[in-house]
């Protein structure tokens, strides 16, 4: 009824660049070490819960703790499954985003985010046909983008948001063939809009 998973990872980036084109020379490195723990819980039949926690220690941008909670419940009689999740995120800019020739911005700050989704999945034809409809909402602080107009990375200060609906369907034609399709409608607003 309970499964625990845990782990650690380490990422190191190095960037070296110099030429006579007028770009600033770069010789930089940074690293990030993360530890994580996830617990999967089945307290009663057909109810599945999950909780995850992650701690990042970044040598340039400091320490950050993020988490994710999710749950799903299956109604056996109707083949209906409700699902939802909520989580936070952290992403430091890469050395390429910071120092890419002509495109990098060394003043970029990390992105942080909050996301939420809720949906329903329904089985038909004894489980051969499965349809899912999910609403999602994502809010990102200090979004990092590549601006095609300026050909450079830049930061959108403040909160950008994306929300929408995703619909998917899959059909098991036989043991050898499965067909599927999906459609996503996204409404995105950033501080430029």
pLDDT tens digits, 21-74: 655 667 788 999 999 999 999 999 999 999 999 999 999 999 999 999 999 999
pTM of the model: 0.84
Rama region for 27: left / alpha / beta (φ>0; ψ in -120 to 50; rest): beta
Phi, psi (rounded to 5 degrees) for 150: -100, -5
Q: Which two tokens stand for residue 87?
A: 């989580």
Query: How far apart are alpha carbons 69 and 136 in whole angstroms?
Result: 14
Return the ∠ at Cα 93 (arms to 91 and 94), rounded to 5°.
115
Q: Which two tokens stand for residue 61?
A: 């941008």
Q: How far is CA 83 from CA 17, 60, 156, 170, in A?
A: 47, 37, 32, 18
Identify the CA nearest to 186 among candidates 128, 131, 134: 134
pLDDT of residue 103: 87
pLDDT of residue 101: 80
Yes or no: say if 50 and 40 are a contact pair by the CB < 8 Å rule. Answer: yes
CB atoms within 10 A of CB 178: 11
pLDDT of residue 192: 52
- Residue stretches of the chain with pLDDT short of 50: 193
> Which residues does 69 contact at the CB level (< 8 Å), separation at least 6?
49, 50, 51, 52, 85, 86, 87
């Amino acid at each position: 009824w309970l499964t625990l998973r845990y782990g650690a990872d380490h990422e190191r980036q190095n960037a070296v660049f110099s030429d006579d084109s007028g770009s600033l020379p770069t010789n930089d490195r940074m690293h990030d070490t993360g530890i994580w723990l996830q617990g999967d819980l089945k307290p009663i039949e057909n109810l599945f819960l999950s909780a995850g926690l992650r701690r990042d220690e970044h040598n340039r941008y400091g320490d950050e703790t993020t988490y994710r909670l999710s749950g799903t419940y299956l109604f056996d009689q109707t083949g209906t499954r409700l699902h939802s999740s909520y989580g936070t995120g952290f992403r430091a800019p890469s050395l390429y985003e910071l120092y890419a020739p002509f495109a990098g911005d060394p003043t970029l700050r990390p992105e942080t985010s909050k996301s939420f989704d809720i949906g329903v999945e329904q089985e038909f034809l004894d489980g051969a046909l499965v349809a899912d409809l999910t609403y999602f909402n994502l809010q990102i602080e200090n979004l990092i983008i590549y601006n095609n107009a300026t050909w450079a990375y830049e930061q959108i200060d403040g909160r950008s948001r994306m929300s929408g609906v995703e619909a998917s369907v899959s059909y098991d034609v036989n043991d050898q063939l499965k067909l599927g399709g999906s459609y996503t409608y996204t409404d995105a607003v950033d501080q430029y809009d």
